[in-house]
Chain A
Amino acid sequence: MLNTFIGDLGHLSVIIAFVAAIVAAYAYYMATNRRPLGDDDVAWRRLGRGAFLVHGVAVLSIIGCLFSLIYGHRYEYYYVWSHSSNHLPVYYMISCFWEGQEGSFLLWIFWHVVLGLAIIRYNKKWEAPVMTVFAGVQLFLTSMILGVVIGELKIGSSPFILLRDFLTDLPVWKTDPNFVPKDGTGLNPLLQNYWMVIHPPTLFLGFALTLVPFAFAIAGLWKGELSKWVKPALPWTLLGALVLGVGVMMGAYWAYETLNFGGYWNWDPVENAVYIPWLVLVASIHGMILWKRSRLGLRTSFVLVIASFLLILYATFLTRSGVLGNASVHSFTDLGLSGQLLIYMGFFFVVAISMLVWRWKTIPISEKELTTYNAELWVFVGATVLCLGAFQVLVTTSIPVYNAFLGFLGVKSNLALPADQIAHYTKIQLYVGVGVALLSGLAQVMWWQKNDKQSLMNSLAVPGILTLLGSALVILLVRYNKLQMEPTYILLLTAALFGVLANLGMVLSLIMRRVSISGGGVAHIGVALMLLGILASAGYSNIISANVSGLVYSREFPEEINRDNVLLWRNEIAPMGKYDVSYTGQYFEVPGMPEYVNKELIYRTDDEYKVIARGDIKIKDKTYYKVGDTLEIRPENTYYRVEYKNRETQEAFTLFPRAQVNEEMGLLASPALKQFVDHDIYSHISTVPDPSKEKDWTEVKEHEITVGDTIFLNDYFAVLRAIEPAHQTAGLGLKPGDLAIQGDFIVHGEKKKYHVHPMFVVRDRLIGRVPDEVEDLGLRLSFINVDPEKGKFTFGVSTTAKDYIILKAVEKPFINLLWSGTLLMTIGFGMAFAKRRRELRENAVQPAPADTSTIRKAPAPRRAESVA
């Protein structure tokens, strides 16, 4: 019998977590319902707290059980079998934990537990209503992994299901119900990347953090505390925007480094689904800050905070329900949870929107008429621009949903996503970028001073003039490099430069006053830099591998088709852009060695993870392995060594774009990057000769020679130095009395010499021949016969087409601006978060006069507030 203790414990923990979430939600609800905020029913609250703690412990137990199954390679469990394998290092076991839907739900649930405990600890006053929402969300989320079947109804998909209960049709169960596969099917090779270890937890923490302001807003509506929720919610919102932004950009960087579509952003629905709530979340921060400073925009804050959480739910629905179908390359497998996801989403949509409608009239608004000289107006416009940007992506990304919905109504719809997505999104997002950069600069300048026409002109003059000068300089430089610059690009360039300079000026002057208030300015500089980086790297990415051979095979429409890939024969130099490029062989990764190891230096064995060294393997002077040593390799990836040499500067570098041949997914190519300060060279393999197909060898040509003779081949020659006992007899299954000899050849190639050892084996009076191959030369030698009387040996020579790769290489100018901008934005968010948290703590010690909903007369006094 299978030992299913851990799995049963895990499943039991899921059920406990689910039940405890129900109890916590109910108890917290009872603790605060019909009571004013802060005056909880203590007994109910204690029960709620206890239940949530039990829930947390149960969640930890689920995670522990699942991880121990993965760690123990327990392939009798479907989740382990389908996401893991024997050779996976521990850090990738963590990734397989959340590769599947169930594991990623678990990750999300885990972060909610952590945040819930933080709320219990730090926001006691708001605990009961906020935790009611938290426990409610946990109830829905744990139901997704419940794995309980009641009659025909299946609730959730458990990660603890046994393989035999999932794949019930396998014939093996009839003969051996306790069959356990020897190995798992492994982690999706594209996810075997360190970014995939940290990206999902970051992203799901971001997801989880959007729940906090949402729960506060709902608590505010519920308790009638329509303005007080803003203050405790604001630091959480800033943290959420920080984490979600970092999560999105990590995903972008992973895509840039691992996938081969040629960039960091593909407008794939899965990417968009997170971009949309992030934009809205950032907009909501602006709304909340307007409220805190000027008693404006409370309704806006409510709407945006609620919208960003609902959009997270919508994103979850999009990526997990299977509704995207053909439209996305990397959404999750459909687990048949669509119904449950719809109920989850529908419940919170209905509850949140009806509560908002219920309280709408009583949410205080300002009668104050904003003038052009109010910074608040421009902050408000900026938030609106962000929302419009989110709106466009939402409308387009939802196209598959319209089809599904119309199909549900019985209308056949054949709408598809735009054929040219980049053009479609750029059309609007470019202006969103322009708006964000301009408004962030303008509002930041106005925020800190009393404005009238004169003072505004004065403070805008310096950044304005510098912007125009800088912009003109860049345009000249672009022209000087013989590149075109469209008016829209000039517009974005100017706006982003203004965003950088105006915010920078403000940050510099604020630092004199107090560093802590400049978070907003720093974040804005980051965003503007990101825009510049996107403009340069996407607008001026230059395909340097464009076919320059002039050899065009097809004559159909030759004039307008870009031919972006170049064929590189092994060891032949080809011109590419300003580089001379050559492909010089295939390499493997050896754990523990700092460099890749040439395939020609090793013999493969039956175990694909073990190889034998053909020669000493050394790097510089250090010898890592001696001839005949067995070493371990990671066989999945083949690294193709590509040498670049700049024709003008003679500067040379080597890249190792990699590819893996996967049975189910074909060739998975990942790029290699050479990063310079001002640009990246990005290159990836497009095609290699199909490794699963046998090579076409020419007919064997026989040569009868003696030791010391030379065989002349087309372009090379081979010298037989000796006949010796064979070295590499492992795997041949030799017994005492069998014979194995090998020819010791030196083949003189164009660049270097190769040792070649074809083997001749006599085993049980049967003759076996093990040929040896020089991949570099497309040459194979086999030891055909021995004539002991004459002392002559017969060798066969055959040749094949030379090895080649097809490569695409792109130059991405100034992409570092994007990454450094991201970093600055993160720092800015972090500073703003720290400041808002400190404010909250100071207030807790010294209770400030309660916020009133009275309308203040303009102009508001200039307090030290920053736009985050």
Chain B
Amino acid sequence: MKKTHVLAIAVIAIAIGIIMSAAGDASVYVSFKEARERAAEGNMTKVHVVGRLPRDNQKNITGLEYNPTLDPNYFAFTLVDTNRIAQRVIYFNPKPQDFDKSEQVVITGAMRNDIFVADKILLKCPSKYVETEVKGATAAVN
């Protein structure tokens, strides 16, 4: 067997290994129901959950808990997933400042007991990049 063939076989083997590792490490988007089921089965791998923040009649977000003077590294909130299941989430980091404005929240992490421990928060803000309102446009009408 020529060396190039050995090399080719090694390359193919490594490439397959790489694909397997990507498949193994890839996370999934799940609902809180599924996240709880995974935890119940003892599966502690981290998942992604997409949800929205519950708001009261005044459009204020309910259930936020962040008191930096007591513990700057503790932020808790409630997230409602696409199946309308609400879940308490803890994030052991300061509260992201644009959190209140976000429409959609993606968290990664896993369920621990009754709480979802998030290690990453990705915020989707309305019109984060595309501007759709013109300041002063209404003023100019008068």
Which A residues are closer than 8 A to B by beta carbons?
81-82, 163, 167, 170-172, 175-176, 179, 181-183, 185, 188, 326, 329, 333, 369-371, 377, 380-381, 384, 388, 391-392, 395-396, 399, 414-420, 423-424, 427-428, 547, 551-554, 556-557, 561-567, 661, 664-667, 686-687, 690, 801, 804, 806
Given A392-B22, A554-B71, A666-B97, A563 and B92 contact (CB-CB distance below 8 Å)? yes
CA distance A380 to B70 in the complex (A): 59
User: In residues 1-41 of chain B, which contact A (Cβ within 8 Å)?
Assistant: 2-4, 7, 11, 14-15, 18-19, 21-22, 25-30
Which chain A residue has the least Cβ–Cβ distance from B134? A181
A418 and B29 alpha carbons, distance in the complex (Å) = 11
Set of chain A residues within 8 Å of B68, measured between Cβ atoms: 567, 687, 804, 806
Complex Cα spacing A424 to B71, Å: 31
- What is the minimal beta-carbon distance from B33 to any residue of chain A, in angstroms? 13
Identify the closest chain B residue to A421 (Cβ).
B25
Instruction: Decide if A384 touches B117 in the complex (CB within 8 Å).
Output: no
Q: A185 and B11 in contact (CB under 8 A), knowing A414-B29, A419-B48, A553-B67?
A: no
Say yes or no: A666 contacts B129, CB within 8 Å.
Answer: no
Q: Does B63 contact A (CB under 8 A)?
A: no
**Mask of B35-55 contacts with A, CB within 8 angstroms, 1/0:** 000000000011110100000
Contact with A along B120-142 (1 / 0, CB 8 A): 10101101111110111110110
Residues of A within 8 A of B97 (CB): 661, 666-667, 687, 690
Contact A806 B94 (CB under 8 A): yes
B90 within 8 A of A: yes
The reply to whether B3 and A181 form a contact with Cβ atoms under 8 Å apart is no
Instruction: List residues of chain B with CB within 8 A of the CB of A547.
Output: 72-73
Please determine whether B106 and A326 come into contact, CB atoms closer than 8 angstroms. Answer: yes
**Docked complex Cα distance between A518 and B97 (Å):** 51
Give the residue among A333, A416, A561 with the most B Cβ atoms within 10 A. A416
B 57-97 contacts with A by CB, 8 A? 67-74, 76, 90, 92-97
B7, A552: Cβ atoms under 8 Å? no
Instruction: Name the residue of chain A whose CB is nearest to the CB of B136.
Output: A182
20 chain-A/chain-B pairs, Cβ below 8 angstroms:
A175-B141, A181-B135, A183-B136, A333-B129, A369-B2, A384-B11, A392-B22, A414-B30, A415-B29, A417-B27, A418-B26, A419-B109, A424-B25, A427-B21, A553-B70, A554-B71, A565-B72, A565-B93, A667-B97, A686-B94
> Do the beta carbons of B141 and A176 come within 8 Å of each other?
yes
* CB atoms of A417 and B135 under 8 A apart: no
B111 smallest CB distance to A (angstroms): 12
Which B residues lie within 8 Å of A381 (CB)?
A: 7
A664: chain B residues at CB < 8 Å are: 98, 101, 125, 127-128
User: Please, how many angstroms separate the alpha-carbon atoms of A174 and B11 in the complex?
Assistant: 65
Q: Quick check: B15 and A388 within 8 Å, CB to CB?
A: yes
Q: For the complex, what is the distance from the CA of A566 to the CA of B97, rounded to whole Å?
A: 16
Instruction: Report chain B residues within 8 Å CB of A420.
Output: 25, 46
Q: Which residues of A contact B29 (CB under 8 A)?
A: 414-416
Residues of B within 8 A of A326 (CB): 50, 106, 122, 124
Q: Are B98 and A666 in contact (CB under 8 A)?
A: yes
Rounded to whole angstroms, the CA-CA distance of A475 and B61 in the bound complex is: 52
Q: Is the pair A179, B140 in contact by a Cβ cutoff of 8 Å?
A: yes
Contacting B137 at CB < 8 Å: which of A179, A370, A371, A801? A179
> CA A667 – CA B15 in complex, angstroms?
42
- From the candidates A171, A399, A552, A690, name the one contacting B141 in the complex (CB within 8 A): A171
Q: Which residues of B contact A392 (CB under 8 A)?
A: 18, 21-22
Are B3 and A370 neighbours in the complex by a CB distance under 8 Å? yes
Partner of B18, one of A395, A414, A661: A395
**A388 contacts across to B, CB distance below 8 A:** 11, 14-15, 18
- Give chain A residues whose Cβ lies under 8 Å from the Cβ of B70: 551, 553
* A185 and B131 form a contact (CB under 8 A): yes
Partner of A418, one of B25, B101, B130, B141: B25
Given A414-B29, A419-B48: A167 and B134 within 8 A (CB)? Answer: yes
Q: Do B99 and A172 touch across chains, with their CB atoms under 8 A apart? A: no
- Give complex CA distance A688, B62 in Å: 21
Complex Cα distance A669/B124, Å? 18
A686 with B122: CB separation less than 8 A: no
Do B26 and A416 touch across chains, with their CB atoms under 8 A apart? yes
Q: How far is the CA of A601 from the CA of B101 in the complex (A)?
A: 33
Contact A395 B19 (CB under 8 A): yes
Residue of B nearest to A384 (CB): B11
Interface of B is mostly: mixed
Chain A residue with Cβ nearest B115: A556
Residues of B that sit less than 8 Å from A by CB: 2-4, 7, 11, 14-15, 18-19, 21-22, 25-30, 45-48, 50, 67-74, 76, 90, 92-99, 101, 106, 108-109, 112, 115, 117, 119-120, 122, 124-125, 127-132, 134-138, 140-141
Indicate if the CB atoms of B3 and A377 lie closer than 8 Å: yes
Residues of A within 8 A of B129 (CB): 188, 333
Chain B contacts for A563, CB-based, 8 A: 71-73, 92
B30 touches A686 (CB 8 A): no
Kindly report which residue of chain B lies nearest to residue A669, judged by CB atoms: B97
User: Cα distance A525–B39 when bound, in Å?
Assistant: 48
On whether the beta carbons of B98 and A665 are closer than 8 Å, the reply is: yes
A179 vs B127: C-alpha distance when bound (angstroms): 22
Closest to A399 in B: B26
The answer for the CA separation of A388 and B94 in the assembled complex, in Å, is 38
Asked if residues B96 and A666 are in contact (CB atoms below 8 Å), the reply is yes
Considering the complex, give the chain A residue whose CB is closest to the CB of B113: A556
Contact present for A391 and B2 (CB under 8 Å)? no
Contact B137 A170 (CB under 8 A): yes
Q: Are A416 and B73 in contact (CB under 8 A)?
A: no
- Collect the chain A residues with CB atoms within 8 Å of residue B119's CB: 419
User: Who on chain A is nearest to B67 by CB?
Assistant: A553
Bound: A552/B127 CA distance, A: 37
Across-interface contacts of A687 in B (CB, < 8 A): 68, 72, 94-95, 97
Query: Which residues of the other chain, A, contact B90 by a CB distance below 8 angstroms?
Result: 554, 556
CB distance from B139 to the nearest CB of A (A): 9
Whether A419 contacts B21 by the Cβ 8 Å rule is no
Given contacts A329-B122, A388-B14, contact A564 B93 (CB under 8 A): yes
Assembly CA distance A427 to B20 (angstroms)? 13
What is the CA–CA distance of A380 and B124 in the complex, to the nearest angstrom? Answer: 45
Contact partner of A667 (CB less than 8 A), chosen from B67, B98, B108, B138, is: B98
> How far, in angstroms, from A172 to B142 measured CA to CA in the complex?
10
B98 adjacent to A369 (CB under 8 Å): no
Instruction: Provide the bound-state CA to CA distance between A418 and B94, in Å.
Output: 23
Contact B141 A419 (CB under 8 A): no
CB distance from B87 to the nearest CB of A (A): 14
A32 to B135, CA, bound (A): 56
For residue B72, give the distance in angstroms from its CB to the closest CB of chain A.
Answer: 4
Of listed A181, A369, A418, residue having the most chain B CB within 10 A: A418
Q: A170, A384, A427, A565: which contacts B73 (Cβ < 8 A)? A: A565
Closest 6 CB pairs of A and B: A666-B98, A553-B71, A667-B97, A419-B46, A563-B73, A666-B97
Residues in chain B near residue A552, CB distance under 8 A: 71
CA distance A381 to B19 in the complex (A): 20
CA distance in complex: A183, B48 (Å): 40
Shortest Cβ distance from residue B126 to the other chain A in the assembled complex, whole angstroms: 8
The residue that A419 contacts in the complex, of B4, B45, B92, with Cβ under 8 A, is: B45
- Measured between alpha carbons, how far is A635 from B19 in the docked complex, in Å? 49
Do A82 and B131 form a contact, CB below 8 Å, given A392-B18, A419-B45?
yes
Residue of A nearest to B130 (CB): A333
Given contacts A556-B115, A686-B94, 6 further A-B contacts (CB under 8 A): A163-B134, A172-B138, A181-B135, A553-B71, A666-B125, A801-B69
Give chain B residues whose Cβ lies under 8 Å from the Cβ of A667.
97-98
Nearest-Cβ distance from residue A73 to partner chain B, whole angstroms: 14
Determine if B18 and A665 form an interchain contact, defined as CB atoms under 8 angstroms apart.
no
Q: Smallest Cβ distance from A568 to chain B, in angstroms?
A: 10
Which B residues are in CB contact (< 8 Å) with A370? 3-4
A804 cross-chain contacts in B, Cβ below 8 A: 68-69
The reply to whether B122 and A183 contact each other, CB–CB distance below 8 Å, is no
Whether A565 lies near B25 (C-beta < 8 A) is: no
